[in-house]
Amino acid sequence: MKRNILYKYFNVIQKMTVYNLKIIFANRFFWFLIGSVGFYSGLSLIYILSNNIYKVQDLYGTFIFTGILLVFYPSVFGIQNDQDSRTIEILFGIPDYRYKVWLIRLLMIFIITFLVMLVYTSISSLLIIKFRILEMTSQVMLPVMFIGTLAFMMSTVVRNGNGTAVIMIVIGIFFLILSDSLSRSQWNIFLNPYDLPRDMNETAWNLITVKNRIILTTGIILCLLAGLYNLQNREKFI
């Protein structure tokens, strides 16, 4: 009896995983993946062939951008893809099913991104400069996950992939413009924890970094909850 229950549970998980993988890798995600690989490969080649001595903080921005490329399409266009394929009607037809599907989908998106980033950081640590691979990957994943959940939340409000993409690009440009002003601020979502300011105490910088990571983690949770809450309104999506 228990084996049958476990088998059915495992079967449901397997089917849901396969279904969500098809959704994630559908349409234009492949091109974003190629763009991420191309961007990383191009910059890494420059780093390797250059005679300059690079530091860990120089690689952080590269990892951030490649990670954002990976989460951008599935988190921005996921709702629209469900609408276009009419699967959104199925999701809303079963109570609480849409929450489970999207939680699993976002989790899978972040797991895939983490694994790809792990490959990037491993290659960079081997060919460019030695650093702690898991620590770097974890540091990069927090802002990437924040961008991903923020994009998901915005997609539940705008309900259009192109509109959500424009808003996310504007938000990104806004923070890039303020990057110099917010370079030492705990509110900077692109804060580089490895770029210690020359005139700042290391302890003070570590405190700012910890606060920044707490803010990002809180933002991830709030954006996720807000996005799932917005999915309650069936009439706006069907």
Q: What is the pLDDT of residues 33-43, one digit of tens each?
A: 888 888 888 88
Q: Which two tokens stand for residue 190?
A: 């692109």
Q: What pLDDT does 224 receive?
A: 92
The pLDDT tens digits of the residues spanning 50-72 come to 877 678 888 998 899 999 988 98
The pLDDT tens digits of the residues spanning 164-202 come to 889 998 988 888 887 777 777 888 888 889 888 887 888
Q: Which two tokens stand for residue 108?
A: 């899978």
Domains held by the chain: number:
1
Res. 10: pLDDT tops 70 = no
pTM: 0.84
Q: How far apart are CA 168 and CA 27, in angstroms?
A: 20
Q: How far apart are CA 149 and CA 107, in angstroms?
A: 10
Residue 214: band (very low, low, confident or very high) from pLDDT cuts 50, 70, 90 = very high
Residue bearing tokens 């923020």:
150
* Length in residues, the chain: 238
Residue 95: band (very low, low, confident or very high) from pLDDT cuts 50, 70, 90 = low
- Alpha-carbon torsion (131, 133, 134, 136), positive or negative: positive
Res. 236: pLDDT tops 60 = no
- Alpha-carbon torsion (35, 37, 43, 45), positive or negative: negative
- CA quadruple 144, 146, 149, 150: dihedral, nearest 10: -110
* Mean pLDDT score, 87-108: 69
On the 0-12 / 13-18 / 19+ scale of CB atoms within 10 A, 49 is exposed
Give how far Cα 179 sits from Cα of 65, 151, 183, 186, 216, Å. Answer: 14, 20, 5, 12, 16
- Residue span of the structural domain in which 206 resides: 2-236
Res. 18: pLDDT tops 80 = no
The pLDDT tens digits of the residues spanning 100-148 come to 778 888 888 899 899 999 999 999 999 888 899 999 999 999 999 999 9
* Mean pLDDT score, 219-234: 85
Q: What pLDDT does 7 receive?
A: 62
Q: What pLDDT does 3 receive?
A: 61
Helix, strand, coil fractions of the chain, as percent rounded to 5: 80, 0, 20
Q: How far apart are CA 104 and CA 22, in angstroms?
A: 13
Q: How far apart are CA 74 and CA 115, in angstroms?
A: 16
